[in-house]
Amino acid sequence: MIRIKISPGDFLLYLLFLKIRLMAMKYLPLMHNFDGKTCLIVGGGKVALRRAKNVLAAGGIVDVIAPTCLPELCDLVHQHKSGRQQGQQHQGKLQQKQYQAEDIDPRYALVIAATNDRQINQAIAQQCKTKNILVNVVDDSSLCDVTFPAIVDRNPILVAISSGSASPQFSKLLRDRINTFIPNGYGKLAELFGRYRKRVKSSIPKPQDRTVFWNKVVHGYIAESALSGNLEQAESQLKNAIENHRKLEQCGEVYLIGAGPGDPDLLTLRALRLLQQSEVIIYDRLVAPEILSRLEQGKDLIYVGKQRANHSVPQQQINELLIRYANQGKRVARLKGGDPFIFGRGGEEIENLAAHNIPFQVIPGITAANGCASYAGIPLTHRDHAQSVRFVTGQLQNGTVSLNWAELIAPDQTLVFYMGLQGLPIICKNLIKHGAATNTPAALIEKGTTLHQKVHISTLGELAALLESIEIHAPTLTIVGSVVNLHASLRWFNKSV
Ligand code: SAH
């Protein structure tokens, strides 16, 4: 038996802490089943309209009293039949008149005072209190029994946010943030899981086994199928998983994720969500450290970055790592700089996963060419300059670059070279040799999209000499073509007011 000793002082402190915590909640959050209940709204303006929409969406009936009423609100009241239960379809009433105390009828489950007259609002609140009816007064929390939270609606999932009337603006800000992070498909997902809860309960009787099962389902490929819009597939996978739940527990998966070129804000929402739910993250040299530091603790972070002439972990070993962790039932993120399918060997890695029957998905990232071009103010295509763009990587063999030079010298084409500095002089020389003008503009972008980004503007004829004269840090990318001339006018324009 374990005994924990608590001194009387500690105990008092604990009670005090508990009291502070209990007192800290200004409102009691409840979800009100309003189906088939009636709400009176006094007022016919924009706020009344917003509130009416909320009440109707929850299956309520809306009566409105107002001398004048927005046409949209009139239509809503007249056309909407509320109450979801059979035989309970009711329509609200609109009375175009001044409010009177007798209007507050005990059949109302809620009254909303939404007039722009403070005295009338106060009188409504007073009447409601004497008749014991819940009241909400717009813009006056001191008179309210209940307030309307900001909501994120992914029916049947509902997130309600209240700032305790301190700052509705803040609640809205938070709502917008949460809105961006909850994928649209969450409601459908919850609905699907809800339908199978009973079946899961009877097939997996032990509660702790069920927790493991749902954890796998919610964080794994089944949820992902539903979130990417494929509900049928998700449902058949779920049925399968219920029948083979022991197998599901041992089944890991791999997310091949593009981390973007450097600025951590360029990570996609899906990438961030999958990173957060991964248990192991295997990452490359080009992945921004800020991305890794944004992830919570408790994940295995494995660096497999490759550097030229210093292959820290060979590709074969990376492939084996992915298989090993996935076979341990882990969710593994394979995080690569830029986009995994652009000079990222992503294709080889997933071929290997497919061969081992391991579920995977690929999450695109912003490739270096796009990121660097945007941040440097160099559009890769432009009606007056370039109708096509080529992403090229130069394979260095014994200090030489082997490329199809003739193909690269097409008119009105932008070239983007993904590679270090070593091969650049050879590239410039060969492009000129095969017909490119020596004054063709070229931009060398180092550490693109990061806080340390530098853009060096030159020409094919002069780039090699420039490389000799300045210190440049990897990674670097080179853009060649007349679009480079636009850099001078399209650089980020930050005007302070
Ligand atoms: N999959 C990556 C590219 C990997 S190849 C992508 O889609 O971006 C590696 C090369 O990408 C580097 O040698 C460099 O040329 C380029 N690169 C990647 N990140 C860069 C950055 N932030 N700035 C400049 N070049 C970058």
pLDDT band (50, 70, 90) for residue 311 = low
Using omega within 30 degrees of 0 as the cis cutoff, is the peptide bond preceding 156 cis? yes
The Å distance, Cα 465 to ligand 1 centre, comes to: 23
Model pLDDT, residue 463: 97
Share of the chain above pLDDT 70, in %: 90
Model pLDDT, residue 133: 97
Residue pair 346/362 in contact (Cβ under 8 Å)? The answer is yes
Q: What is the mean pLDDT of the chain?
A: 89
Indicate whether 492 pLDDT > 70.
no
DSSP-derived secondary structure letter, 90: E
Structure-token pair, residue 276: 């957060």
Q: Give the orientation angle of helix 269-277 with respect to helix 168-181, to 10 degrees.
A: 80
Indicate whether 44 pLDDT > 60.
yes
The Å distance, Cα 271 to ligand 1 centre, comes to: 18
**Quick count: other Cβ atoms within 10 Å of Cβ 260?**
28
Q: Which of 396, 418, 451 to mutate to test the pocket of ligand 1 (most atoms within 8 A of CB)?
A: 418
Catalytic-residue membership of 339: no
Share of the chain above pLDDT 90, in %: 70
Structure-token pair, residue 259: 């981390």
3-class secondary structure per residue, 450-479: CCCCEEEEEECCCHHHHHHHCCCCCCEEEE
Q: Where are the beta strands (DSSP E) in 26-149?
A: 38-42, 61-65, 81-82, 90-91, 94-95, 110-113, 134-137
Indicate whether 17 pLDDT > 60.
no
pLDDT tens-digit map of 181-233? 888 888 889 999 999 999 999 999 999 999 989 989 998 889 988 888 889 99
CA 450 to ligand 1: nearest atom: 22
Q: Give the orientation angle of helix 315-327 with respect to helix 346-355, to 10 degrees.
A: 40
Structure-token pair, residue 362: 């690929």
Q: Give, using CA atoms, the residue closest to atom 18 of ligand 1.
A: 368
Please state, in angstroms and rounded to a whole number, the distance separating the CA atoms of residues 192 and 236. 11
CA 366 to ligand 1: nearest atom: 7
Indicate whether 355 pLDDT > 70.
yes
pLDDT tens-digit map of 428-487? 999 999 999 999 999 999 999 999 999 999 999 999 999 999 999 999 999 999 999 999
Residue pair 59/83 in contact (Cβ under 8 Å)? The answer is yes
The Å distance, Cα 398 to ligand 1 centre, comes to: 22
C-alpha distances in Å from residue 342, one per residue of 142, 190, 311, 336, 367: 59, 35, 19, 10, 7
pLDDT band (50, 70, 90) for residue 109 = very high
Which residues on adjacent β-strands are paired with residue 476?
Answer: 446
Please state, in angstroms and rounded to a whole number, the distance separating the CA atoms of residues 68 and 71. 9
Please state, in angstroms and rounded to a whole number, the distance separating the CA atoms of residues 424 and 428. 6
C-alpha distances in Å from residue 23, one per residue of 11, 16, 167: 18, 10, 19
Which ranges of 204-332 does DSSP label H, i.e. alpha helix?
A: 207-219, 221-227, 231-243, 245-250, 269-277, 289-293, 315-327
pLDDT tens-digit map of 126-145? 999 999 999 999 989 999 99
CB-based pocket (< 6 A), ligand 1: 261-262, 286, 336-339, 342-344, 367-368, 372, 418-420, 445, 447-449, 475-477
Closest to 342 in 3D by CA, of 474, 453, 477, 238 = 477
Q: Choose the catalytic residue: 63, 188, 216, 284.
A: 284
Contacts of 133 (CB under 8 A, 6+ apart): 104, 106, 108, 109, 110, 111
Q: Where are the beta strands (DSSP E) in 329-437?
A: 331-336, 360-363, 388-392, 396-397, 400-401, 413-418
pLDDT band (50, 70, 90) for residue 18 = low
Model pLDDT, residue 182: 85
Model pLDDT, residue 79: 78
Please state, in angstroms and rounded to a whole number, the distance separating the CA atoms of residues 242 and 210. 10
Model pLDDT, residue 247: 86
Using omega within 30 degrees of 0 as the cis cutoff, is the peptide bond preceding 475 cis? yes
Query: How many Cα atoms sit within 13 Å of 414 on the Cβ side?
Result: 27
Model pLDDT, residue 167: 84
Q: Which of 178-182, 405-409, 442-446 has the highest mean pLDDT?
A: 442-446
Please state, in angstroms and rounded to a whole number, the distance separating the CA atoms of residues 98 and 83. 28
The Å distance, Cα 178 to ligand 1 centre, comes to: 32
pLDDT band (50, 70, 90) for residue 246 = confident
Structure-token pair, residue 482: 């007349």
Please state, in angstroms and rounded to a whole number, the distance separating the CA atoms of residues 70 and 51. 13
pLDDT tens-digit map of 156-172? 889 999 988 788 888 88
Indicate whether 268 pLDDT > 90.
yes
Please state, in angstroms and rounded to a whole number, the distance separating the CA atoms of residues 281 and 272. 12
Model pLDDT, residue 11: 52
Query: How many Cα atoms sit within 13 Å of 322 on the Cβ side?
Result: 31
pLDDT band (50, 70, 90) for residue 1 = very low
Catalytic-residue membership of 384: no
Which residues on adjacent β-strands are paired with residue 61?
Answer: 38
Model pLDDT, residue 490: 83
Model pLDDT, residue 2: 47
Task: At 103, give phi and psi (nearest 5°).
Answer: -65, -25
pLDDT band (50, 70, 90) for residue 8 = low
Model pLDDT, residue 14: 56
The Å distance, Cα 338 to ligand 1 centre, comes to: 7
Closest to 131 in 3D by CA, of 162, 108, 97 = 108
